[in-house]
Structure 1
Amino acid sequence: MYIELPEKLYYSMGEVTKAFQVNASLVRFWEKEFEVLHPKKNSRGNRIFSKVDIDNLKTIYHLVKEKGFTIDGAREYMKSHKKELNTFEIISKLEYVKAELQKIKAQL
């Protein structure tokens, strides 16, 4: 799964929900269920997500939406299979490179 987000330090809830094509309520639910998600809140109380939060959201999305894990199963998998999650990160980076190459090809 390739998520297209601009290079920034922090992302708003709207940017995150648009990139992942999910509702804000689902992101807030995942925030409560997974200890690894810790978005900061700005002065207005709006959530802002860092790169680490986005990477964790990618992992959660992959496990829950693509692999079909339950919330409890995904939580346990993330705790016990850290090496396999590194493989997922490598695959995500390769998908990014593939998408960029396809953009270049389309421009030619």
Structure 2
Amino acid sequence: MPYKEPKIEKLYYTIGEVSKMFDVNTSLIRFWEKEFDIIKPHKNKKGNRLFTPQDIDNFHLIYHLVKEKGMTLKGAEKKLKENRKDTIENFEVIKRLKEIRETLVEIKESM
């Protein structure tokens, strides 16, 4: 069995790393930060934004609602305020299914 590198989870992500994760411009990340109050990045002494894994999860949720489902920003904000628990649960199911698919594809390619 081949050796697998352990996954190392970072504590903070820069705005550039976040924009690459979602394949969007950094200006969109800054815009969503202003529009959605669930995203609260830490700022260092220079003023650079540092996003936590919780912020990344919130970005995934917003990205899913706005880009994948086609909701407006107001609609996504309303949905997050009214049905936050249900929205997060549905998103977690979708996220888990994507992870399972990736694992199955890896298994298929290794055969």
Per the shorter chain, which TM-score range? Answer: 0.7 to 0.9
Q: Secondary structure at the match of 2:24?
A: coil
2:74 aligns with 72
- Which residues of structure 1 form unaligned runs of 5+? 1-5
Q: C-alpha separation between the residues in 2 aligned to 1:100 and 1:43? A: 40
2:93 aligns with 90
Task: Report the identity percentage.
Answer: 50
Query: Runs ≥4 in structure 1, deviation > 4 angstroms?
Result: none
- The answer to whether the Cα contact below 8 Å between 2:11 and 2:53 also exists between their aligned partners in 1 is yes
Structure having the higher Rg: 2
Tell me by how many angstroms 1:37 deviates: 0.4
Count of aligned pairs: 103
> Which structure carries more relative contact order (alpha carbon 8 Å, separation 6+)?
1
Q: C-alpha separation between the residues in 1 aligned to 2:31 and 2:19? A: 13
1:95 partner letter: K
Give deviations 1:18-46, integer Å, cap 9, x for gaps: 11000000010000000100011122211
1:3 aligns with none
1:9 aligns with 11
1:105 aligns with 108
1:51 aligns with 53
- TM-score of the superposed pair, with normalisation by structure 1: 0.86
Q: C-alpha separation between the residues in 2 aligned to 1:49 and 1:42? A: 11
